[in-house]
Structure 1
Amino acid sequence: MTDQGTHTVLHVGGASPYDVVVGRALADRLPGILGEAVQRVAFLHAAELTELAEPVLRVLREHYDVLALGLPSGEATKAAEVANECWDALGEAGFTRSDAVVTFGGGATTDLGGFVAATWLRGVRVVHVPTTLLAMVDAAVGGKTGINTGAGKNLVGSFHEPAGVLVDLDTLLTLPREELVAGMGEVVKCGFIADPVILDLVEKDPDAATDPHGPVLPELVERAIRVKIDVVVADLKETGGSDGHPGREVLNYGHTMAHAIERAERYSMRHGEAVAIGCCYVAELARLAGHLDDATAARHATAFGAVGLPTTYSGAGFDDLLAAMRVDKKSRGNTLRFVVLDEVAKPVVLTGPSEEHLRAAYDVMAGGAA
């Protein structure tokens, strides 16, 4: 971590190193990241953020020919037809391998824009400018891109690391409260899997943890990004960790159930909300399987609930959710895999839990009591 005035630079090492810059008013840093060889930039942005995007667009237009492409809102943008429209636009504009993509928006925009960059001419430079807390700590870092299909979420995608990420905290000042709270789902998750200080900060003062004007939220953002960087650098393509650590798969803590819930809700539930519920579910599953003590399992509902996130769900039946979990990316054949905790910051993989435990954990999730 390197402090440069009001900016913090978090370096991502590995075969394709890049920096994540956390600060305010960062648009002027874009040309330095994109480089002099770039002539054209496709600016893929959430259509409803046109006004918020103006400072970034202004800087880009001073240096490049800019093709601005507005995208649908939310998960609707992560569709094959939207990607195809972007490819057609790049082709008509004559984009070459030396040109670049800049994304501006939440996690869905980042996922779709990264996928377009990864697949156009087998890969062009991309810089992410995430505008939601969720995208800042999750989608924008790590190089995962993807779109959804009728079979599930993120089943089509590619690894494509960005040339850089600009985390402009000023965008959180205009973020709707419910979106900011939803983003805390991934932040608190990082506390459980790797950084207990995150949990301490959240539990000590939940209001400060969700205040975009104060000093606590920026610290939480940096800590959560650092967790993801450390995991990704050690295991870029989710091939596995060492010494029993799940590797990059640890970032999917709570996500097997979360993705099943999102599918059941036809992606109308915010991702961070589903993650909070999924983490509470898998904590109970770990408790039933003898991995996690009662107090730490219960702490999940306390920590997520403290910032206003949901911790229970009964909108779909067990059998439907189980079927959805079986097509999750982390499954092996018909065998379910879950990242669970032995204790805070001690993750392991639980393979093939019994249906009895899966159902009992669902009953707690649906009813909210052990």
Structure 2
Amino acid sequence: MTARRIGVGGAAEPYDVVVGSGIFGELPEQVGGKAAKIAVVRPEGLGEVARPALRALQAAGYTVYDMAVPDGESAKDIAVAADLWSRLGRAGFTRTDAVVGIGGGATTDLAGFVAATWLRGVRVVLVPTTLLGMVDAAVGGKTGINTPEGKNLVGAFHPPAGVLCDIATLPSLPAADYIGGLAEVVKAGFIADPVILDRIEEDPEGATRPEGRHTRELIERAIAVKAEVVSDDLRESGRREILNYGHTLGHAIERAEGYTFRHGYAVSIGMVYAAELARLDGRLDAEAVRRHRSILTSVGLPTSYSDAAWPGLRQSMRVDKKARGATLRFVVLDGIAKPAILAGPSTGLLDAAYGAVSA
């Protein structure tokens, strides 16, 4: 099957998300011909998966610097970013050189942030190797690192020059990581493309495997949803906020767990919480809430969290990026594929919705 190109606009230079199998050879084309030096930022444990990309860049004549960083969310730290800045400086990277980020969402977030801040912005190409990275983190130009106060509170908007999604890398993922990435696919279905939900309901077991009969369609549909939304609103000044469905509580759970809890698992719980908020606010019917639980449970994602954690989670949500001053804002649904904003819900509403998802 040939590679598919999904265009992303809204930035000064539109770019393509290329989806296919065995397409690392297209990486030099994504980088472009101006750069002489390429910094490849990738997790320490991803050497074997990243090697074909490194070879493709070297064969194209680039001087390649292999810059390994810690695995997972521990990479999204100011100390790791500072180390990469030092390595770029020692290697003499200029504004015509480029960064390539290969790995999961944490790695592409970090690589994008370093590219955005080095010399006030150099070219970056992202090569997500996880389902979460492909359908969410690598598309849209958001970059960031974490702080003790919250997730992604420090960052910049810096659209990539291109994104290369080689689905041949997905079978190497642990099953739990792949399933975690499905939360963002399901999210795209609830906020914009109900066909995604239909496909998962047709074959939930297949949806949990990279070899599933609908896998490529699910990935392409989820990417297309994000591409369309971010093309319309690059800097999250309006419609892009809908992509945070499930993320307000989800990010609070991640923080409570010291970022050791999979992002998709937290977002899954957050989506059920948002659905319960919408039901209690008279926006969403009980059947739609049931469908949230049914679909998420069918692919192995959690839908509840500890009752005792609620006071801390409620406090964490106050520093969520979507908050406006003291006013909490939630992305909710007025119906399937009908996202809306619920601003300033009462404490009673927040508590009642959490009561519906607490274990």
Per the normalisation by structure 2, the TM-score is 0.98
Q: C-alpha displacement at 1:115, in angstroms?
A: 0.1
How far apart in 2 are the matches of 1:193 and 1:36?
38
Please tell me whether the aligned partners of residues 261 and 316 of structure 1 are also in contact (alpha carbons under 8 angstroms): no
**SS of equivalent to 1:167:** strand
Q: Which residue of 1 aligns with 2:73?
A: 75
How far apart in 1 are the matches of 2:267 and 2:183?
6
Q: Which residue of 2 aligns with 1:313?
A: 305
Amino acid at match of 2:42: H
Q: Which residue of 1 aligns with 2:7?
A: 11
Amino acid at match of 1:166: L
**SS of equivalent to 2:49:** coil
Q: Which residue of 2 aligns with 1:144?
A: 142
Q: Which residue of 1 aligns with 2:340?
A: 348
**SS of equivalent to 2:284:** coil
Q: Which moved more, 1:71-80 or 1:206-215?
A: 206-215
Please tell me whether the aligned partners of residues 264 and 316 of structure 1 are also in contact (alpha carbons under 8 angstroms): no
1:185-241 per-position Cα deviation (integer Å, ceiling 9, x unaligned): 10001100000000001111111212212331110000000000110011110111x
Query: Where in structure 2 are the equivalents of 1:222-241 lying within 5 Å?
Result: 222-240=220-238
**SS of equivalent to 1:260:** helix
Q: Which residue of 1 aligns with 2:41?
A: 44
Q: Which residue of 2 aligns with 1:244?
A: none
Amino acid at match of 2:311: D
- Given candidates 168, 179, 182, the residue that maps to 1:181 is 179
Please tell me whether the aligned partners of residues 187 and 221 of structure 1 are also in contact (alpha carbons under 8 angstroms): yes
List structure 1 segments (4+ residues) > 3 angstroms apart after TM superposition. Answer: none
1:288-309 per-position Cα deviation (integer Å, ceiling 9, x unaligned): 1111111101211111111000
Please tell me whether the aligned partners of residues 41 and 102 of structure 1 are also in contact (alpha carbons under 8 angstroms): yes
Query: Where in structure 2 are the equivalents of 1:218-297 lying within 5 Å?
Result: 218-240=216-238, 247-297=239-289
Q: Give the % identical residues.
A: 59
Q: C-alpha displacement at 1:315, in angstroms?
A: 6.6
**SS of equivalent to 1:44:** strand
Residue segments in structure 2 that go unaligned for 5+ positions in a row: none
How far apart in 2 are the matches of 1:298 and 1:214?
25
Please tell me whether the aligned partners of residues 276 and 309 of structure 1 are also in contact (alpha carbons under 8 angstroms): yes
Q: C-alpha displacement at 1:151, in angstroms?
A: 0.5
Amino acid at match of 2:156: S
Query: Where in structure 2 are the equivalents of 1:106-117 lying within 5 Å?
Result: 106-117=104-115
Q: Which moved more, 1:8-17 or 1:206-215?
A: 206-215
How far apart in 2 are the matches of 1:153 and 1:211?
28
**SS of equivalent to 1:239:** coil
Please tell me whether the aligned partners of residues 11 and 17 of structure 1 are also in contact (alpha carbons under 8 angstroms): yes
Q: Which residue of 2 aligns with 1:25?
A: 22
- Given candidates 198, 208, 211, the residue that maps to 1:210 is 208
How far apart in 2 are the matches of 1:167 and 1:188?
19
Pair 172,316 (structure 1): closer, same or farther in 2 beyond 3 Å: farther
How far apart in 2 are the matches of 1:116 and 1:326?
28
Pair 315,171 (structure 1): closer, same or farther in 2 beyond 3 Å: farther
Amino acid at match of 2:36: Q
How far apart in 2 are the matches of 1:221 and 1:268?
25
Q: Which residue of 2 aligns with 1:195?
A: 193
Please tell me whether the aligned partners of residues 44 and 102 of structure 1 are also in contact (alpha carbons under 8 angstroms): yes
Q: C-alpha displacement at 1:316, in angstroms?
A: 4.7
**SS of equivalent to 1:126:** strand
Matched, 1:364 2:356: yes
Higher relative contact order (CA 8 A, sep 6+): 2
1:43-81 per-position Cα deviation (integer Å, ceiling 9, x unaligned): 000110101111111111122111111110111000000
How far apart in 1 are the matches of 2:309 and 2:233?
35
How far apart in 1 are the matches of 2:2 and 2:308?
46
Please tell me whether the aligned partners of residues 9 and 230 of structure 2 are also in contact (alpha carbons under 8 angstroms): no
Q: C-alpha displacement at 1:181, in angstroms?
A: 0.3
Please tell me whether the aligned partners of residues 252 and 316 of structure 2 are also in contact (alpha carbons under 8 angstroms): yes
Corresponding pairs, count: 357
Q: Which moved more, 1:327-336 or 1:206-215?
A: 206-215
Q: C-alpha displacement at 1:317, in angstroms?
A: 2.2
Residue segments in structure 1 that go unaligned for 5+ positions in a row: 241-246
Query: Where in structure 2 are the equivalents of 1:147-186 lying within 5 Å?
Result: 147-186=145-184
